């Protein structure tokens, strides 16, 4: 097995994330490698949290716009979206769109998002425009009420450009989807390096929400070996829930629906509902540990 290229002491890196009372939790769904399950996870986790009665905002930061089309906004369907928000041409409230799920809203990737990478180069504090837009929306609501969402889920593109950096700077935590494959370990190593750099500079409190294995095939030994390897490096950070390979998860985007609206009985939809449940439980456990610590 190859060594993933992350540095020596995972325990030090493994800051647990805590629920913030001052604003929504911002989850960046990130992995610098393409095809690992980011978009599928962003969409279906967001939908599953909404099904668990949390108010959720999904922001599509990938110019490919697959998350947008997966919740009913194919290319061109929305006039304004992430681009307008990042370039300061619209407020958050102006780019939020409803979805078929009552508690899930989306900021779609409008067509020109690909241009944002270049246009942002000349903007001061270009890595922090998303963070600033979210903060501004929060303060606008005034009187400590904050924005209506408990979770903001960011679907990141598969590269370390200005869009991914904006996600990592705006995020409270990073959730890492990955496949249980040999080459996926390199992607994980690269991301961990990026997270460390972002912590050292622009977002010191960024934590790791966890690592989730996607498109998982239990039958292969290699998959089990990769899981053990990652668990060894990141104790306590790998979600127990794994997302199996499931055809419904790849079919539902073309119907503009998260899997739970397309076929709720499917293994894929059920796995993401279980992931949302596990995430909420882990956060509850962490919150109660923090409270106990504060009281003792
Ligand atoms: P990324 O956003 O990291 O590039 P995607 O979520 O778009 O990855 O997934 C890549 C491809 O694999 C897509 O075609 C998607 O529909 C498919 N896919 C993702 N997860 C699953 C799964 N659990 N089972 C079957 N197909 C999947
Ligand atoms: Mg994607």
Q: Are 172 and 25 in contact (CB under 8 A)?
A: yes
DSSP H/E element including 153: strand 151-155
Query: In whole angstroms, what is the distance from residue 24 CA to residue 138 CA?
Result: 9
Asked if residue 6 has pLDDT above 60, the reply is: no
Average pLDDT, the chain: 90
Residues shown for the chain:
296
Q: What is the pLDDT of residues 276-290, one digit of tens each?
A: 999 999 999 988 887
Average pLDDT for 24-35: 95
Q: CA angle 152-261-154, nearest 5°?
A: 20
215 falls in which pLDDT band (50, 70, 90)? Answer: very high
Asked if residue 210 has pLDDT above 50, the reply is: yes
10 falls in which pLDDT band (50, 70, 90)? Answer: very low
Specify the pLDDT at position 241.
Answer: 98
* Dihedral angle, C-alpha 215, 218, 220, 223, nearest 10 °: 60
Specify the pLDDT at position 291.
Answer: 78
Q: CA angle 230-232-234, nearest 5°?
A: 65
Determine if ligand 1 sits within 6 Å of the CB of residue 40: yes
Specify the pLDDT at position 143.
Answer: 55
| Residue 77 CB neighbours (<10 A) | 16
Specify the pLDDT at position 293.
Answer: 75
Asked if residue 1 has pLDDT above 50, the reply is: no
Asked if residue 7 has pLDDT above 80, the reply is: no
Average pLDDT for 19-32: 82
Q: Whose CA is nearest to atom 19 of ligand 1?
A: 37
Q: Whose CA is nearest to atom 7 of ligand 1?
A: 39
| Residue 274 CB neighbours (<10 A) | 16
With b meaning 16 or more CB within 10 Å and e meaning fewer, what string describes 124-134? eebbbbbbebb
Structural domains in the chain plus CATH codes? 22-287 (3.40.50.300)
Q: Whose CA is nearest to atom 18 of ligand 1?
A: 250
Query: Ligand 2 centre and the CA of 179: distance in Å?
Result: 14
Determine if ligand 1 sits within 6 Å of the CB of residue 34: yes
Specify the pLDDT at position 287.
Answer: 86
Average pLDDT for 101-127: 92
For the chain, give the percent of residues with pLDDT over 70: 90
15 falls in which pLDDT band (50, 70, 90)? Answer: very low
Q: What is the pLDDT of residues 41-64, one digit of tens each?
A: 999 999 999 999 999 999 999 999
Nearest Cα to Cα of residue 233 among 1, 2, 4? 4
Average pLDDT for 20-38: 88
């Amino acid at each position: 097995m190859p060594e993933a290229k992350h540095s020596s002491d995972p325990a030090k890196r493994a800051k647990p994330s805590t629920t913030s009372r001052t604003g929504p939790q911002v989850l960046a769904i990130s992995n610098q490698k393409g095809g690992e399950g980011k978009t599928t996870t962003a969409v279906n986790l967001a939908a599953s949290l909404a099904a668990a009665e949390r108010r959720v905002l999904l922001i599509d930061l990938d110019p490919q716009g697959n998350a947008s089309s997966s919740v009913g906004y194919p290319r061109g369907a929305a006039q304004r979206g992430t681009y307008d928000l990042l370039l300061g041409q619209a407020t958050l409230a102006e780019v939020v769109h409803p979805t078929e799920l009552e508690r899930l809203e989306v900021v779609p990737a409008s067509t020109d998002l690909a241009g944002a990478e270049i246009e942002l180069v000349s903007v001061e504090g270009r890595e922090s425009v998303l963070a600033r837009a979210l903060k501004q929306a929060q303060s606008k609501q005034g009187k400590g009420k904050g924005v209506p969402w408990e979770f903001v889920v960011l679907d990141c593109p598969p590269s370390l450009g200005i869009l991914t950096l904006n996600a990592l700077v705006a995020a409270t935590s990073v959730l890492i989807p990955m496949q249980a494959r040999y080459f996926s370990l390199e992607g994980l190593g690269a991301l961990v390096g990026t997270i460390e750099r972002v912590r050292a500079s622009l977002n010191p409190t960024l934590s790791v929400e966890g690592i989730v294995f996607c498109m998982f095939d239990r039958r292969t030994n290699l998959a089990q070996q990769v899981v053990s390897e990652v668990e060894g490096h990141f104790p306590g950070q790998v979600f127990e829930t794994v997302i199996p390979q499931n055809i419904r998860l790849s079919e539902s985007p073309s119907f503009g629906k998260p899997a739970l609206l397309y076929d709720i009985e499917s293994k894929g939809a059920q796995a993401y509902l279980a992931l949302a449940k596990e995430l909420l439980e882990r956060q509850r456990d962490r919150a109660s540990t923090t409270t106990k610590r504060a009281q003792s």
